[in-house]
Amino acid sequence: MSSVSVSRSRAWRCLRRQPRPAARQGLAAGRGPPPRRQPHWRTGGGLAGRCPCASWPTTSTNRYTGPWDATTKNPILLIGTRFDPTTPLRNARLAERRLGNAVLLIHDGYGHLTRRDPSTCITQAIGSYLVNLTTPPSGTVCPADRLPFDPDFG
């Protein structure tokens, strides 16, 4: 097993063992864990705060360090959402420029690309990419199927 695999498996093993911060407090007080309301990674504190073993120093002799602009045999499909506060569209455009053979498909929607803000156009493009390895033309913008304040949104 490579050192990368070993370090990843250690980190994930550590993550599975660590209860959420609120659960640790409840357990310490003898109350038991609180009801699960949201995934543990959204409770704050960062990965290192909940899983100190994730920062163990490791090395890998077979880690890929570039070049990142190599032209691949098959195209790379990138999908960016126009109004995503977590991963801004400008970062997707930067990734498209840096990768050698990438096409950016823009979802004209809100937040992360999820089933809460669907786009039939995006779904079809993903299907074509996975089945036929074809990408839409560069610059394609796919509309969201719903408006943000639509009663069925999210």
152 within domain boundaries: no
pTM beyond 0.85: the answer is: no
Same structural domain, 45 and 87? no
What pLDDT shows up at residue 28?
52
Domain assignment present for 151: no
How many other β-carbons are positioned within 10 Å of the β-carbon of residue 51? 19
- According to DSSP, residue 38 is labeled S
Q: Are residues 46 and 97 in the same domain?
A: no
Containing structural domain, residue 112: 76-143
Residue 18 lies in a domain: yes
Q: Does the residue 126 lie in any domain?
A: yes
**The pLDDT value given to residue 40:** 43
C-beta pairs of 64-69 under 8 Å, 24+ apart in sequence: 68/98, 68/99, 68/100, 69/98, 69/99, 69/100
Looking at residue 82, its pLDDT comes to: 93
Low-confidence ranges of the chain (pLDDT < 70): 1-54, 153-154
pLDDT at 122: 95
